[in-house]
Amino acid sequence: MKKQLTLNLDEKAYQRLLQHCQGDENALQEFAARILENQLPDAPQSSPETTAEGLEEYLKKGTPGSRSYGIKGQGW
């Protein structure tokens, strides 16, 4: 069973896609579907650890004083 997806593109991107597909909207839809399918990983990625050890390791990845360290909830 196929599902439908609507994409909102700016005019320039739409025209480039349409030109790439030689004005064939069906080819454009197939092209976009192929791109999306090829970009998806084969298997779902595992979720990040939610244990205290996993959180501690995540927070240790940042360096004190760096912007990313502050984003992780430390140093600000």
Q: What is the pLDDT of residue 15?
A: 94
Give tens-digit pLDDT for 34-64.
Answer: 998 898 887 665 555 556 677 677 777 766 6
Residues 75 and 53 in one domain: yes
Residues 25 and 52 in one domain: no
Residues 52 and 39 in one domain: no
Residues 39 and 12 in one domain: yes
Give a yes or no: residue 1 inside a domain.
no
Question: What predicted TM-score, i.e. pTM, was given to this entire model?
Answer: 0.50
Q: What is the pLDDT of residue 5?
A: 87
Residues 18 and 36 in one domain: yes
- The SS3 call for residue 43 is coil
Domain of residue 29, residue span? 8-43
Residue 68 in this model has a pLDDT that exceeds 60: no
- Binning pLDDT at 50, 70 and 90, where does residue 72 land? low
Cα–Cα distances in Å, from 21 out to 12, 28, 29, 30, 34?
Answer: 14, 6, 9, 10, 13
Place of tokens 């999306």: 36
Residues 54 and 68 in one domain: yes
- Binning pLDDT at 50, 70 and 90, where does residue 75 land? low
Number of domains in the chain: 2
Reading phi first (left if > 0) and then psi (alpha if -120 to 50, else beta), residue 59 is in: alpha
